[in-house]
Amino acid sequence: MKAKREALASLFTAINGGKVDEDIIDLLLLINSIKGIYTTSSCSGRIGIIEEPALGAKPLSRWLIKVHRLIEFEEAKEALKNAKEGIIFLKSQPPIFHVVAGDLEKAKKLHELGLASGFKYTTFKVISKRYLVEINATEYLTAPLGRDGKVLVDDEYIRFAIEIGNEMLRRSKRRLSRLEENFRKLRKELGKDELFYEMAEKHGISVR
């Protein structure tokens, strides 16, 4: 599968370059080791403060701080000092995995797997003859903090928003172990992909 070969090369290069969220590297390797499926862009969940020039203008947005762990009040306050232009939001987003399936049957299995693992926003669609499954959870938070460099809320509100955002991130990350367990079961069912192990060795990636 040419597309999987290219996806694996991109993943392994990103891992070696330290550009993959550390707490999901093993899970991504597990998923990609399964016959007939592979991952594209994925994230372990994150929280941070972002500036958006206008509502929905995601491509032009600027993160003031973005971490894949719980955020501290002090570092959030420090990041807010760099706000300049646009609407300021605190955002908390759950883990998300984009998995390509080789056929409709595998896509259905991935969809069921995501839902069974507690990722209730899991969906799948056909894109350019590919079945793309998005394994996604419900814990999203977007809290407005200010506009054009000016914070319009007090510290008590910021602490409260961070507390809620951190708890949502914590809850969603807890499901990663269940997701990994279910992917191990799927690998037993579908089998291991020799292409994965061949390319992992070539790129110096240690796999289990």
Beta bridge partners of 135: 97
Structural domain includes residue 88? yes
pLDDT digits (tens, 9 = 90+) for 140-166: 999 999 999 999 999 999 999 999 999
The model's pTM? 0.92
Structural domain includes residue 35? yes
Query: So what's the pLDDT on residue 128?
Result: 78
pLDDT digits (tens, 9 = 90+) for 101-133: 989 999 999 999 999 999 999 998 988 788 999
Q: How many domains does the chain have?
A: 1
Query: So what's the pLDDT on residue 146?
Result: 97
Query: So what's the pLDDT on residue 15?
Result: 95
Structural domain includes residue 181? yes
Structural domain includes residue 207? no
Residue 111: which CATH number? 3.30.1960.10
Residue 50, amino acid = I
Query: So what's the pLDDT on residue 191?
Result: 97
Domain with 27 in it: 2-202
Structural domain includes residue 208? no
Residue ranges of the chain whose pLDDT lies below 50: none
Structural domain includes residue 189? yes
